[in-house]
Amino acid sequence: MFMNTLWDISAETVKLCSSDTFIDCPWREQAFWLNDHSVVNLFYLLLTGDDVFAAHNLKMGADGALPDGWIPAVYPSARKQLFPSMPALWTIALADFYRYAGRLDFVLEMLPAMEKALALYDQWEKEDHLIPDQPEVWNFIDWGIVSRLREKTAVLNMLAAAAYKQAAGLENAAGDKQKAEKYLGKGKLIVAAVNDKLLGRRPRLL
Q: What's the chain's length in residues?
A: 206
Q: Does 7 map to a domain? A: yes
Whether residue 76 is preceded by a cis peptide bond, meaning omega within 30 degrees of 0, is yes
Instruction: CATH number of the domain at 72, please.
Output: 1.50.10.10
Q: Does residue 206 belong to any structural domain of this protein?
A: no
Global pTM value: 0.90
Does residue 204 lie in a domain region?
Answer: no
With b for 16 or more beta-carbon neighbours within 10 A and e for fewer, the 160-191 pattern comes to bbbbbbbbbebbebeebeebbebbbebbebbb
14-23, 74-83, 144-153 — which is least confidently predicted? 144-153
Q: Give domain status of residue 45, yes or no.
A: yes
Residue span of the structural domain in which 9 resides: 2-199
pLDDT at 29: 81
205 assigned to some structural domain: no
Q: What is d(CA 121, CA 60) in angstroms, rounded to the nearest whole number?
A: 21
Whether residue 67 has pLDDT greater than 70? yes
Q: Is residue 146 part of a domain?
A: yes
Q: Structurally, how many domains does the chain consist of?
A: 1
Please write the tens of the pLDDT for every residue from 163-203.
Answer: 999 999 999 999 999 999 999 999 999 999 999 888 775 55
